[in-house]
Chain A
């Protein structure tokens, strides 16, 4: 949805300059999700559905504490659950709040061909503009986190907006407001990283989690959602969080070298054929011209 008070720094499928770029600076915002204090209550899921005015979505019970297998076009925020057995035989219930990661280098935006259908605001929020979406689904292929979801009725793609409408009015996202344990925090990316590192240090020093750490993957330029994990060396345990997410190579090749080579080949080919005609002309130019009224 369009946010008049937010300026844009990146636009998908856009030729030329970005209107209003660098006219205003803002803090890059971030959510901090401390998986070590999440109790899996789903208050954030409900708050998300409620604030974004989504219809009721049927749930799937699969003998776990997870609402459904993955996020949906109208269910943007999902606590992923994993029962993990440690080496000493003890069990851990790992809960991870899954939603759009708001990458600094967003694969969805890079892959999108529709002008302005995906924008990144100067505060780092990546937002889909459904009125400009053409429903091609390239964002689905560009995302390393399986976040954009297609609606077959509207033929548009939807995902978490990081409550851009609330943030632009100085409010925290709905999920953050609903969290009862304080495992969710919202603020500037800088502050959130400091807070996350403090918590990770606490886990290492006082709680016997030597591998505790912060998840802020560099492969996508860092993310607008960062996690504190008990074991940052195995992010896959947390509902398949990729250890080194990047924009897929195929998308990078397609939008990079292939585009340049293709454009040079197409324009060069047109010029080459035109110059050939100027130099050599038609193949029968040495023959007598056809009589008047002859068919071509």
Chain B
């Protein structure tokens, strides 16, 4: 497939295929449900959320199943995106220039590809977070079935499940902030799939070069 397939009329360019968008929203909606019900169990001050979502028993019963959905969506992301998420030399420079990025001095940033180093870090934190949350979550799903002499499994899970959740929450907050507020056009791209050429050039110059400059390997559609 030619990279030119990604260029759409009216100065638009396809950033996320239908499959990528569907997977993103499967993960996003399940994560938001897990976050809300998780917060309800995390703190008594948030327990009202469980009441709003149908009661504590309902939240406790559904949280593990929605968790499985989230895990499968993240694994689908892994199969789609992991080759693009490897750290490169540009990414190392990107981290060193992080202070410029934070101050919106994007012209001083090394040219990011389809994903910049921060997005890659987000991806890997969710990938490893999902695995850790699944492993500890299975134990917390059926604590009554863990025999007494294996109770350390329960205790490790009681502690690590919220630790892993907090790590993903930090990345989740930054992700929402970047995509909804900081980069105008990013939120629309994961719904309708396309961004403007200006968006591609400004935020992902390496990727822009691949598509429009037209040399290297074709990116995934």
Contact = CB atoms under 8 A, between A and B. Distances in A.
A296 B187 contact: yes
A166 interface: no
Given A250-B158, A295-B188, A150 B144 contact: yes
Contacts of B177: 273, 276-277
Interface residues of B, number: 49
Nearest to A136: B60
Interface stretch (B68-76, B90-98, B100-108, B211-219): B100-108
A254 B103 contact: no
Interface string A12-42: 0111000000000000000000000000000
A284 B173 contact: no
A137 B143 contact: yes
Nearest to A14: B44
Given A138-B143, A140-B154, A250 B159 contact: yes
Contacts of B169: 266
B163 interface: yes
Interface in A50-91: 70
Given A258-B162, A262-B162, A114 B56 contact: yes
A73 B61 CA distance: 20
B47 A277 contact: no
B170 interface: yes
B202 A254 contact: no
A276 B156 CA distance: 36
Interface in B137-162: 140, 142-144, 148, 151, 154-156, 158-159, 162
A141 B41 contact: no
A134 B56 contact: yes
A81 to B, nearest CB: 17
Nearest to A248: B155
A249 B174 CA distance: 32
A159 interface: no
Contacts of B103: 280
Contacts of B40: 113
A284 to B, nearest CB: 6
Contacts of A250: 155-156, 158-159
B15 interface: no
B15 to A, nearest CB: 13
Contacts of B41: 113, 136
Interface stretch (B17-25, B78-86, B120-128, B178-186): B178-186
* Max count, chain B CB within 10 A of own CB: residue among A250, A259, A287: A250
B159 A253 contact: yes
B205 to A, nearest CB: 13
A235 B182 CA distance: 62
Contacts of A258: 159, 162-163, 166
B192 interface: yes
Contacts of A140: 143-144, 154
A273 B174 contact: yes
Interface string B182-215: 1111011000100000110011000000000000
A270 interface: yes
A283 B173 contact: no
Contacts of A281: 104
Interface residues of A, number: 48
Contacts of B144: 137, 140, 149-150, 152
Interface string A252-289: 01100011001101100110010011001111110100
B57 A282 contact: no
Given A137-B140, A296-B187, A251 B192 contact: no
B101 to A, nearest CB: 9
B42 interface: yes
A175 interface: no
B158 A262 contact: no
A277 B181 contact: yes
A296 B185 contact: yes
A111 B60 CA distance: 15
Contacts of A14: 44
A198 interface: no
A15 B45 contact: yes
* Max count, chain B CB within 10 A of own CB: residue among A138, A265, A276, A283: A283
Contacts of B170: 265, 269
Interface in A151-181: 152, 155
A270 B173 contact: yes
A111 B44 contact: no
A135 interface: yes
19 contacts: A15-B44, A111-B158, A132-B56, A134-B55, A134-B57, A134-B59, A135-B57, A135-B61, A137-B140, A254-B158, A259-B43, A262-B42, A262-B166, A266-B166, A280-B102, A280-B103, A283-B182, A284-B198, A296-B184
